[in-house]
A and B are shown apart, each in its own frame.
Chain A
Amino acid sequence: MNAIAYTVSDSATMLRRQLRHMVRYPSLTVLVVGMPVIFLLLFVFVFGGTLGSGLGPAGAVGGAAAAAGASGGRSAYLEYVVPGILVMTIAAVVQGTAISVAMDMTGGIVARFRTMSISRASVLTGHVLGSMVQAALAIILVFGVAVLIGFRPSASPMEWLGVVGILAIASFALIWLCVALGMVTDSVETASNIPMPLILLPFLGSGFVPTDSMPGPLRLFAEYQPYTPIIETLRGLLTSTSFGNQAILAVAWCVAIAALSYVWAMRLYEKHSVR
């Protein structure tokens, strides 16, 4: 086998290890899926009636909302909030990534891996691939709950492909970011708190309310932070409406975050101090 074959085989071994952790200790996955589901239910059923009426004509989706009558506000809001909840789901998954990377790094097992003749990147690649699987599962589950409570996306097959693509690339970027964040600190507790802003950021974007309802400086931040183009693109694809150049912005943000995080993570891994 050559070097690339070894890298692939070692990464596959590490992915198996991550999947086994996931199956054996599902509590982290449950936690990761539970949080966005609770937010979805909370925002749709508690705040949704009021927030939906405030969305204005752009948010309401014609006949469907009108036909639903009194609950039109709520169903319009469900349609509005799903993209934000999906991004929040990714953020919750990557918080788990940071925790499991930190747990690995603070335990002795990674020191053992480093003394073995295995591909250097494979330990981190295993975490990334494992988290991608976890993100896919979490997104499908959260999406399922959204459909159960009445979410009916009108996307075409091509638009669905776009949804999957955007979710995948956003997950990939944020996972690498959290792999790096998981190695910045020496404690698992800190590692679990550092990614908190990633979960809160959808609130400061177009995730839960339109940005033009926000006051000046906050609105500026909300319009230009990376989550907003991702959320706008998802919203456009799911509801078959136009989203302008948001998709290009979203992809650019993701590529930049992924590339920088990858370099950062590899550097941290190489020089990570040994206990």
Chain B
Amino acid sequence: MIKITNLNKSFGENKVLENLNCNIKTGSIYGLIGANGAGKSTLLRIIMGIFKEDSGTIELDGKELQDKEEMMQKLVFIPDDLFFYKNYTLKDTIEFYSKIYSNFEYDRAIKFAESLKLPLDKKVNYFSKGMKRQSALICAICTNADYMFFDETFDGVDPVVRNYLKKIIAEQMEKKETTIIMTSHNLRELEDICDNVGLLYKGGILFESDIDTLKTNMFKIQISLPKEFSKEEFSNYKVLSFKKVGSVATIILEGDREKYEKELKELNPIILDFLPLTLEEIFIYQMEVLGYEFNSIV
């Protein structure tokens, strides 16, 4: 478990993280979203010990990191701006990781590289942006670290490879209880892989939740009743959003879907459709409830 308590970090006058508190469960994939400059990368760097926090604590399984190599073996980080040694081929890079990480699976990494058709003997610096990202990810996964931190995880990766990488990540989760934090400014990238999502805004976690709960408890309906109706007709429900065009209303509701469905059917609707919500839509409506405009945050 990662427990972050009252974390503060400033760069000069610029406060990047301010009293940030967050708990990330072991064995989960935590999606951290936020606009550019929200502090996502800074948070990951502080967890990794690359940046020093101004104040606050970060505990991994109840212990502070404190520059200890034993603990550092349990962590791996892929930053947004990737770095590879200038003259290293992918094979050299994999070898580098294998020398540094005690649990690194060399053969598995080679196998992944071959599956992704990454040239092993070509210098990584000559790779495309997406290929570099793939190389970094396979190296990170093969470390078998307990905690993996991926900044802008799928940046530059095409959809097919993205799915493949997600599959690899999922396999890794199955293989070993791993805690992963992924950051992105694009919710769609994370929604089908993350268990939890947190929204970083103005140096703190503005909102975080379990995705399954979010998706189960929030739903969108399109409804048309035989009579004229307004928002008040639904005052017994938790309405997050109500928009009516003509005789059809689109409503975002939060609550027990089965109960709502049963009750709404009793109104003899002309149209009653339950539509799935994307994670982005969930966030938009949640932010609206909190009084924020989502697009200005992410």
Task: Report whether chain A binds chain B.
Answer: no
Residues of A with Cβ closer than 8 Å to B? none
